[in-house]
Amino acid sequence: MPPKAPTVAEARAFVEKVEARLLEANVEASRADWVKSTYITDDTEALAAKADERAINAQVELAKASTRFDRLKLPADLARKLKLLKISLTLATPADPKASEELTRIVSGMEGAYGKGKWCPPGSDKCLDIEDLSRLMAESRVPNQLRDAWVGWHRISPPMRPDFARYVALANQGARELGFADTGALWRSKYDMPPDDFAREMDRLWEQVRPLYLQLHAYVRNRLREKYGDDAVPATGPIPAHLLGNMWAQTWENVYSLVAPPNADPGYDLTEILKGRKTDAQQMVRYGEGFFTSLGFASLPETFWQRSLFTKPRDREVVCHASAWDVDFADDLRVKMCIDITGEYFATIHHELGHNFYQRAYNRQPYLFRDSANDGFHEAIGDTIALSITPEYLVKLGLLDKAPDPSKDIGLLLNQALDKISFLPFGLLIDQWRWKVFSGEVPPEKYNESWWALRRKYQGVTPPVARSEEDFDPGAKYHVAANVPYARYFLADILQFQFHCALAQAAGCTEPLHRCSIYGNKEAGRRLNAMLEMGQSRPWPDALEALTGERQMDATAIRDYFAPLERWLEEQNRGKPVGW
Ligand code: X8Z
Ligand code: ZN
């Protein structure tokens, strides 16, 4: 006799069981991951790997079991939950227990290796971690020093190379068992559209913003030539990656003082203000919380303040790379970051709190809907809020006496572009690289060469010294070592301006977008919350529409925001080469 066709009632009962089981397994894994990330040892790494393995195996098993409902006509909510069950993993473990154990051990180990990464300069008795090195990259203007720090940090990753190749093979095996071509296809399947369409969507958005990036690149190159000379920075070629104020040349705001417009400098520096007032890490986070409560969101729970990690402990290894947690998928919100008192960290705090307020807004959804509309939305919320950190807002906080005159707007916009526009090609290329690696188009013996081909093509940067396949430069970036997809940050960079534009309108701001702050505006807060509380219960275009009235991700808002700067850059670059 053929097996009996399953019923809708069975599907519903199955989903209920799935939600209870995954909640339990993932809370356990979160706890183990938290301990591991805030106290890296061989033991915490092994325990976290084990808990991750159990949670992932459970989901893989349940996703496979759910295929028996594939041909059943289901109500929309059930159909969506079963679909999410199949696509929401970022790492799929193979059914073979040895392989699944090896895979989760490797991933836990690579993140740990990154977290412990240090460079010990010859002749010095102090070893430098990524926080020390990031400060150096931001502040030093001595090319040899910058080069040494860059090369020093990039030594942490060659040992990861064999592990990384093995992780690619095992993760692909898991993805294939779930019916995906490879792990890249699994990652691209999370956007309520066919995976190939998503790749085209990324290209479309990049084409929308590329002209602005080219203008910024050309302008910065010229100013760096004036500072470092024609030999260091070529007139028509890519910019050496160590001269842009950041280890990965992913954002360039730390070279603002080298490229500032002489007549339009806004005349204040948030880092100096915060340091001058002896602001501490906790106070920085309080400022961030204050923005969200001004919109009508409830304050963070007491446990947030008790359990979060704000400063780097002196006595143990931790993963300093900032992250936001929702350990029990309800109210146990935390951030983990090693805060420095700078304007850059001030923005990152808002970024992380955006995750926490999103997590809490959707916590009344059923378990499988407790995530953002798509992962770009999660990354965009805190940044959207941070776009409202205008001079007028700083005046309201009492951090600034008087807002600069509008004639200084070009300086403010340039500073902002060095953060947001410079990031776009970087945000795009990380997963361009990983998609090719997962598909096999880039084999291990071409890892580094293909990485630099993409860095050159999209960002227009080159390594400060010759590289080879002895190196593994992608592994010196957290998200590659830790298996965190990256297309989300590219999307967020575009989406946050779309969100900001809609919220500024809701708040009745009629000024140019860059001068709008939604601080204290309850109507903007209500609109934002309406989107956040949906979680991922509906396809992302529905969530986007709830906030913006639009159903497409679109770079018009980011171009509009920077329009005055773009005209100014074109004038500065007139008659000079653009591109590389
Ligand atoms: O990783 C992050 C956040 C944590 S989700 C701090 N970001 C990316 C990065 O640092 O590379 C934020 C912007 C891009
Ligand atoms: Zn984030």
**pLDDT tens track, the chain, 580 positions:** 667 889 999 999 999 999 999 999 999 999 999 999 999 999 999 999 999 999 999 999 999 999 999 999 999 999 999 999 999 999 999 999 999 999 999 999 999 999 999 999 999 999 999 999 999 999 999 999 999 999 999 999 999 999 999 999 999 999 999 999 999 999 999 999 999 999 999 999 999 999 999 999 999 999 999 999 999 999 999 999 999 999 999 999 999 999 999 898 888 899 999 999 999 999 999 999 999 999 999 999 999 999 999 999 999 999 999 999 999 999 999 999 999 999 999 999 999 999 999 999 999 999 999 999 999 999 999 999 999 999 999 999 999 999 999 999 999 999 999 999 999 999 999 999 999 999 999 999 999 999 999 999 999 999 999 999 999 999 999 999 999 999 999 999 999 999 999 999 999 999 999 999 999 999 999 999 999 999 999 999 999 999 999 999 999 999 999 999 999 999 999 999 999 9
Q: Which one of 154, 217, 321, 350 is the catalytic residue?
A: 321
Q: Which one of 350, 479, 500, 514 is the catalytic residue?
A: 479
Which atom of ligand 1 lies closest to the CA of 477?
11
Contact 62, 85 (CB under 8 A): yes
Burial class of residue 516 (count of CB atoms within 10 Å of its CB; 0-12, 13-18, 19+): buried
Instruction: Assess whether 479 carries a catalytic annotation.
Output: yes
CA-to-CA distance for 145 and 212, rounded, in angstroms?
31
> 3-class SS at 38?
coil
Burial class of residue 124 (count of CB atoms within 10 Å of its CB; 0-12, 13-18, 19+): exposed
Q: What contacts 568, CB < 8 A, 6 or more positions away?
A: 261, 410
Q: Say what the pLDDT of residue 267 is.
A: 83
- Displacement of CA 357 from its chain's centroid (Å): 16
Residue of 94, 204, 182 whose CA lies nearest to 441: 182
Write down the architecture of domain 198-573 according to CATH.
Orthogonal Bundle (1.10)
Contact 202, 460 (CB under 8 A): no
- Displacement of CA 283 from its chain's centroid (Å): 24
Burial class of residue 444 (count of CB atoms within 10 Å of its CB; 0-12, 13-18, 19+): middle
Q: What contacts 484, CB < 8 A, 6 or more positions away?
A: 90, 478
In DSSP notation, 128-149 reads: B-HHHHHHHHHH---HHHHHHH
Rg (CA), the chain: 24
Residue nearest ligand 1's atom 6 by CA: 322
CA-to-CA distance for 287 and 15, rounded, in angstroms?
41
| Ligand nearest to C-alpha 378 | 2
Distances (CA, A) of 301 to 74, 333, 361, 364, 535: 38, 8, 13, 16, 20
Distances (CA, A) of 57 to 61, 86, 342, 371, 510: 6, 12, 41, 20, 52
Collect residues with CB below 5 Å from ion ligand 2: 379
Ligand 1 mean position, distance from CA 229 (Å) = 32
CA-to-CA distance for 53 and 451, rounded, in angstroms?
30
Q: What are phi and psi of 44, to 5 degrees?
A: -65, -35
Instruction: Assess whether 217 carries a catalytic annotation.
Output: no
Beta strand 323-326 with 333-336: parallel, antiparallel or unpaired? Answer: antiparallel
Residue type present at position 371: D
CA-to-CA distance for 466 and 327, rounded, in angstroms?
43
Q: Say what the pLDDT of residue 1 is.
A: 66
Domain map (residue ranges) of the chain: 8-118, 198-573
Residue nearest ligand 1's atom 8 by CA: 489
Ligand 1 pocket by C-beta < 6 Å: which residues?
A: 322-323, 348, 351, 489
Q: Say what the pLDDT of residue 4 is.
A: 83
CA-to-CA distance for 433 and 441, rounded, in angstroms?
10
Instruction: Assess whether 352 carries a catalytic annotation.
Output: yes
Ligand 1 mean position, distance from CA 449 (Å) = 25
Q: Kindly state the greatest CA–CA separation across the chain.
A: 84
CA-to-CA distance for 270 and 250, rounded, in angstroms?
20
Q: Say what the pLDDT of residue 5 is.
A: 87
Q: What are phi and psi of 325, to 5 degrees?
A: -125, 150
